[in-house]
A and B are shown apart, each in its own frame.
Chain A
C-alpha cells in the first residue's frame, strides 16, 4: 500500500515537474496577513480573500469546514434578511448513497446514532413502487414543534428556518412528539463527538451538541451565510438535493440552478403529508423516470444500515 502511494507520488511529481516552468523552492512564512502583493500600486487585492484567524502556520482545512466565526444565540433568532429558504428533493435521482447523512453528521459533529438527515425506504401501498426518501427537517411554516415548546428554545426565523437553542432547551421532548415527521433527535447521553467541536456554540451550527437536549436538521444557515449550500446538498453525488430562496424563485444543487416554480410545475412537485397543515418548506419531486433501480440503494451499505430496511414492505417481496 505504501509502495503504491510512493509510486503515485513520484509519478505526480514528475508530471508536475513537466508542467511547471520554473522549479524552485518557496518559503511560506507565518503571517497574519493574507494578501501580500508585490506591487500594491498596480494590483488590487482580491475581494474574495477572507481574514485569517490563525497565526501563520500552514493549516490543512477540510474544504467543507469553514471556520468563520459563528453567530451568537441572540443573533441566530433573526433570519438572514430578505430570504426564505426552500429545499427540493428529487426522488427520481436518489440511490441511497448516504453522502447527505454522512456529511451532515461530520459537519455537525454528530455521533453515528444521531442523524439529522434520514433516508427512508418508503412504499406507499402494497402494489405501489418503493422509493428512497431522504428526509431533513421540513422547516414548516406552521411548525407544531415551535408552538408546543414551553420555553421558546425552538423558534422560527424570518428566513423560514426553524432552529433550536440548546442552551435554552430543557429537554422535555414535547417538540419530538409534536413533530409528525419524526425529525427531531435527542442527546440521550454525552457523546464524545460533541467534544470534537472546539468552536463556541451557536444554534446556527447546532454544534457542539448538548446532553439532554433536542436537536435536528438546521438547513445549515452558518454555511448559507457564506454562500455555501448545506452539507447534504453540497455532498450529494447525484444532485438530489436542491436548495435556494423561494422568494427569488431559484434553487440549486451546486451543478445546476433552476427556477423553483418551473421545477415544481414541470416535475409535479409536492410536499409530504400536506394534509397535516404544517406547510413544510421542503418539496419533493416524485420518483418518476428514475435514474436507478431501488436495489441500487443497497450497494455498499454498512450491515447496520442495511438491517434497518429489513422490516419494510419492500423487503418482504425482495431479497436485500
Chain B
C-alpha cells in the first residue's frame, strides 16, 4: 500500500532534522535550558523558604500555577481530541500535522501536572495520595484520570509512530549513530507491514484514538469539577465541564497552528504544510471560538441576570478591576479568529497564526479570570491590612516557573522532532483513497 518512492523522498526530506543539530538549534536549546535552570532555582527557593515566596495567601490559595495547570492540560486534551478525531475520520489533510497534535497531547500532559505539584505544601507527602486516597475527592479523580490519560496518550503516540519508526529502521541512508538505530530497531517491534500487522495496527490505533477522545473529555471535565464542586460564587456552575472542554480544544487549536507555523519555517516544510492546512485548522478554530464565546456568554449572563449578591460583586470586579483582561480574553479572544478566518479574504498563513497567538494568550487570561477574581471575592469579605492578603499578584518565583514550563514545552517539542519526524511520513506515503473504507466511519469527504 505504501508508495516506496514517495516514502523514501519524504524520509530524505526529514532526515536532516534527525541527523544534525544546527548551531542555531543548539543555541535555542541552551536558551531553553537556561530558562529551565532559572525555574529550578525558583523551585528550590520555594521549597526551602516555603510558599511565602509566592504571591499566594490564605484567600487566593491557588495562583498562576493552577492557571498554568489548566492551560497545559487543556492543550494536551486538545491535542488528543484533534489527533483522535482526525484519525478516526481519516481526514486527508491530517497527515502532515497529526504528529504535531500527538506531540502536543503528550508533552503538555507531562508538564501540566507539574504545576499542581507546585501548589502542594508538602511535596514530601505526595505519596499519601496513593496511600490514603479518598474516592470522594475530585483531586483523587484527577490523579486517577491524569495517570490513565498519560498511559492512553503514550500508547496512542506509540501506535501512530510505529510505522515511521519501522521506516527509520529500514532507511539505510540515515546517517545516525548506532545506538539510535538500535533504539529504532527495538521500538519498531519487528513491524514489517505484513497484512496482519497492518490490520492489527489499524485496529489498535482506531481504538486508542476513540479512547483518547473519551478520556480527554472526562479528564478535563474532572479538572473543571475541581472548581465547580465548591461553593465559590464564580465556580459553582454546572456548565463548567463542557465549558472547560471547549476552551481546552480552542486553546489547543491555537497552539497547534503556532507549532505548524514554527516547524514549517524551521524545517522548511512549506511544501507539505500549506495554506490549506492552516485554513482547515483555522476553520476548526472558528467553530471552537463560536462555541467558546457561547459558553462564556451563557456562564456570565446567568450570573449577571440572576444577580445573586456574590455573583454580582464578582461581575463587578471583573468589569472594574479586571476590565482589560476580561475584554481581551472574552471579547477580543473570540472575535479576532471569527473575523480573520470567517472572512475568506483575510485568511492567510500569517493572519491565522497571529490570531492563534491572540487566542492562546486570551485563553490563558480567561483561566486567570476564572481562578483569581473568584478567590478574591469570597462570601465573607476579606478584611486584612496586608495588601498581599487582599489581592493576588504573582512573584518572580511563579513567573520563573511559568517561563520554565513554557521553555520545557518548547524543549521537549524540539527534542521530539529530532527523534521522530514531525510529519507522519508513512501515512503521507500511503496511496490516497486506499484506506478510506477501513476507517470506522465512512466519510467520503474531509473537512474541506
Give me the interface of B with A, judged by CB distance under 8 Å. Answer: 49-52, 56-59, 61-62, 116, 119-122, 125-126, 128-129, 131-134, 136-140, 143, 226-227, 229-232, 235, 375, 378-386, 390
Chain A, interface size category, equals 35 or more
Contacting A173 at CB < 8 Å: which of B121, B129, B227? B121
Contacting B382 at CB < 8 Å: which of A153, A182, A188, A212? A182
Taking the complex as formed, is A217 at the interface, i.e. its CB lies under 8 A from any CB of chain B? Answer: no
Q: Report the minimal beta-carbon distance from A235 to chain B, rounded to whole angstroms.
A: 21
Find residues 64-93 in chain A having any chain B CB closer than 8 Å to their own CB.
none
Q: Chain B interface mostly helix, strand, loop or mixed? A: loop
List the B residue with the shortest CB-CB distance to A123: B381
Q: Chain A interface mostly helix, strand, loop or mixed? A: loop
Give me the interface of A with B, judged by CB distance under 8 Å. Answer: 113, 118, 120-122, 135, 144, 147-153, 168-174, 176-178, 180-182, 184-190, 211-214, 273, 276, 278, 304-312
Contacts A150-B139, A172-B119, A173-B61 given; indicate if A180 touches B50 (C-beta within 8 A).
no
Contacts A147-B137, A168-B132, A171-B121 given; indicate if A181 touches B230 (C-beta within 8 A).
no
How far is B235's CA from A276's CA once the two chains are assembled, in angstroms? 14
List the B residue with the shortest CB-CB distance to A121: B383
Contacting B138 at CB < 8 Å: which of A148, A151, A153, A307? A148
Docked-complex contact B385 and A304, CB < 8 angstroms: yes
Which B residues are CB-close (under 8 A) to A178?
A: 229-231
Docked-complex contact A273 and B133, CB < 8 angstroms: no
How far is B1's CA from A90's CA once the two chains are assembled, in angstroms? 83
Docked-complex contact B62 and A177, CB < 8 angstroms: yes
Docked-complex contact A186 and B133, CB < 8 angstroms: no
Which B residues are CB-close (under 8 A) to A182?
A: 58-59, 378-380, 382
Q: Report the minimal beta-carbon distance from B100 to chain A, rounded to whole angstroms.
A: 33
How far is B58's CA from A113's CA once the two chains are assembled, in angstroms? 10
How far is B135's CA from A151's CA once the two chains are assembled, in angstroms? 9
Contacts A151-B129, A211-B50 given; indicate if A180 touches B229 (C-beta within 8 A).
no
Which B residues are CB-close (under 8 A) to A309?
A: 383
What are 18 A-B pairs with beta-carbon distances under 8 A?
A118-B383, A148-B137, A148-B229, A150-B129, A150-B139, A151-B131, A170-B120, A173-B119, A174-B139, A177-B230, A177-B375, A178-B230, A180-B231, A213-B121, A276-B231, A308-B384, A308-B385, A312-B383
Which A residues are CB-close (under 8 A) to B57?
A: 188
Q: Report the minimal beta-carbon distance from A146 to chain B, rounded to whole angstroms.
A: 9
Which B residues are CB-close (under 8 A) to A147?
A: 136-137
Which B residues are CB-close (under 8 A) to A118?
A: 383
Which B residues are CB-close (under 8 A) to A278?
A: 231
Q: Report the minimal beta-carbon distance from B447 to chain A, rounded to whole angstroms.
A: 40
How far is B387's CA from A307's CA once the two chains are assembled, in angstroms? 11
Contacting A172 at CB < 8 Å: which of B58, B133, B139? B139
Q: Which of B128, B231, B378 has the most chain A CB within a 10 Å cutoff?
A: B231
